[in-house]
Amino acid sequence: MAGRAIVFAGQGAQFVGMGKDLVDANPEYQELFDRADEILGYGLSKICFEGPTEELTKTNHCQPGIFVASVVCYRALMKAVPGLEVNSMAGLSLGEWTALHAAGALTFDDTLRVLEARGRFMQEACDQSDGSMVSIIGLSADQLKPICDSAGVSMANLNSAQQTVLSGDRKAIEEAEKLAGDTGAKKTIILRVAGAYHSPLMESAALQLKEVLDSVDIQPTSLPVVANVTGAPHGTPDEIRETMLKQVTSSVLWQADVEWLRARGVEEFVECGPGKVLSSLIKRIDRSVQVYNIQDTVTLDAAATALA
């Protein structure tokens, strides 16, 4: 039997209406959004279901919103395919927190509190600097390293062998984009983000987040959850705290995460949450794997039929 991993969406995958289709079909999942509204003290569910886009895109709304929508997708999958065997989990940036929750490391309430604080601190860090990010397609990490050193930017996401996202000061990112073009990049895309995520410009957010992480109970995971920072599974609860704190300012090694899972026999990946970003990236890394995406009732039914 093929190994199977569940992966969870990261920031940027959000869309107005995420989660609503599954909630309408399964009213029991409304309780998750109601609980989130209660914990956060505002109508996150209304923002997720109705927008406006400008509010949903704010980091402090987006991160808890994607988390709740992704948990709904995951629970709907486990209900639709009882006894589904899962060998491991991973997630992109905030999605790694969803994976840790699904693997039993944190409760729903605590994960939501962490992500609300994480999103708020990161938004504040964005407001304090003029940061930007650019996606570079067609150059390897080795080719980008001298460009990063020259422009003074960081590799924020190593998504695949031919796609890397750079992060840093806006003018430095513009310089890096020019240098990448001169070096032969097939395509460069300035991302529509609030700031320079996964770079030293997020240091103030990491400093504030430490106090929050120290206050929540973290348990060992029930199965391997691969960390963005290391490309290897998380360790003890204290190591989880340390690694997830580093994640705020460190590179997301998504390609390394997928390669670790593949080396351990994972042949099926199920993406839970809005969008299909991870499904696309996984296929770019290894076209031989089977990938499913669950974000609404249509994709749930298709995946459940195949997985059953």
| Helix ranges (DSSP H) in 141-236 | 141-151, 170-183, 203-215
User: Would you write out the chain's pLDDT as a tens digit for each of its 308 residues?
Assistant: 469 999 999 988 999 999 999 999 999 999 999 999 999 999 999 999 999 999 998 888 999 999 999 999 999 999 999 999 999 999 999 999 999 999 999 999 999 999 999 999 999 999 999 999 999 999 999 999 999 999 999 999 999 999 999 999 999 999 999 999 999 999 999 988 889 999 999 999 999 999 999 999 999 999 999 999 999 999 999 999 999 999 999 999 999 999 999 999 999 999 999 999 999 999 999 999 999 999 999 999 999 999 98
146 and 273 inside one domain: no
How far apart, in whole angstroms, are the C-alpha atoms of residue 160 and residue 22? 31
Cβ–Cβ < 8 Å for 82, 75: no
Q: Which of 61, 198, 199, 279 is catalytic?
A: 198
Tokens of 12: 């940027």
pTM recorded for the entire structure:
0.95
292 and 240 inside one domain: yes
Q: Which of 93, 154, 160, 167 is catalytic?
A: 93
84 and 24 inside one domain: yes
Asked about 198 being catalytic, the answer comes back as yes
153 and 171 inside one domain: yes
117 and 219 inside one domain: yes
123 and 266 inside one domain: yes
96 and 158 inside one domain: no
> What is the count of structural domains for the chain?
2
Q: Examine the fold and report which residue of 143, 165, 190 is the final residue of a domain before the chain moves on.
A: 190
Cβ–Cβ < 8 Å for 29, 74: no
Domain that holds residue 154: 130-190
Query: What CATH number should be reported for the domain holding residue 142?
Result: 3.30.70.250
Asked about 101 being catalytic, the answer comes back as no
**In a 10 Å sphere around its CB, with 0-12 CB exposed, 13-18 middle and 19+ buried, how is residue 70 labelled?**
buried
301 and 152 inside one domain: no
Query: What CATH number should be reported for the domain holding residue 276?
Result: 3.40.366.10
**224 backbone dihedrals φ, ψ, rounded to 5°:** -60, 130
3-state secondary structure of 28: helix
238 and 223 inside one domain: yes
Q: Examine the fold and report which residue of 138, 155, 190 is the final residue of a domain before the chain moves on.
A: 190
